[in-house]
Amino acid sequence: MELTLVYSTRFGQAQKIMDTLAQQWTQVGLSCRLHSVAEVQRDPELLSQAQAAVLGAPIYFGAFDPDFIKLVAQHHAHLNTIPSAFFVVCFAAGSPQATDQVEVIKLSRQFLRQTGWDPALTQGFAGALRYSQYGWFKKRFVHWIAKRAGVPSDIRHDLEMTDWAQVQAFGNRFVDGMLGKPIENAKWL
Ligand SMILES: Cc1cc2nc3c(=O)[nH]c(=O)nc-3n(C[C@H](O)[C@H](O)[C@H](O)COP(=O)(O)O)c2cc1C
């Protein structure tokens, strides 16, 4: 079976997670095709002909990218007929404060309701703080948010918070689902 993987990203972490999953799935014999949101916008058949699909996107300022939302809304009817999974990448998904996690679950559920998509598997992954790529203001703003959430960070160093074992477990659960086995802990959202 061929897997269509679509990611939205600004600083590369959602793409890195998708790349890692693609490597994992390729190793178990699945054929993976990776596309950015822009590529699918240019050629909608990349998603409308998919046999199985996994989509991943980050949260910025409490929202998903409007182009990503539009794309999923356009394709939700097809996505609901094939094996599909969604992951969200953000700071709050890995925050030690329960209220942060509740917020990301609320936002993501709102996105799924708004687009009409009902993926079989959902997951939140902690993202990365790429201080080296942010401008002066963004650096300090993100540092302040991280501090407020109880995550110490140093603006002189990038901080990757993604739990790669959690990513691998998500990859295994999706394969189980495609093989018709019951998926454990399918819904994070
Ligand atoms: C300017 C800015 C705003 C952000 N806003 C949020 C937010 O509202 N909630 C959150 O949980 N994470 C937020 N983050 C963290 C990002 O979601 C995280 O860095 C993620 O890894 C980005 O994914 P990407 O590298 O694929 O773009 C923000 C990051 C930046 C730089």
Domain with CATH 3.40.50.360 in the chain: 2-127+164-178
- pTM, rounded to two decimals: 0.96
Judge whether 174 and 85 are in contact, CB under 8 Å: yes
Rg of the chain in Å (alpha carbons): 16
φ/ψ region of 89 (left if φ > 0, alpha if ψ in -120 to 50, else beta) reads: beta
Closest ligand 1 atom to 14 CA: 26
Which segments within 45-178 are labelled E, that is strand? 53-58, 84-90, 121-126, 128-129, 159-160
What is the best residue among 90, 137, 140, 144 to mutate for testing ligand 1's pocket, by most ligand atoms within 8 Å of CB?
Answer: 90
Of ligand 1's atoms, which has the minimum distance to the CA of residue 95?
Answer: 11
Can you tell me the distance from the alpha carbon of 97 to that of 109, in angstroms, rounded to the nearest whole number? 19
Over residues 127-177, the pLDDT tens digits come to: 999 999 999 999 999 999 888 888 889 999 999 999 999 999 999 999 998
pLDDT digits (tens, 9 = 90+) for 6-63: 999 999 999 999 999 999 999 999 999 999 999 999 999 999 999 999 999 999 999 9
| CATH topology (fold) of 2-127+164-178 | Rossmann fold (3.40.50)
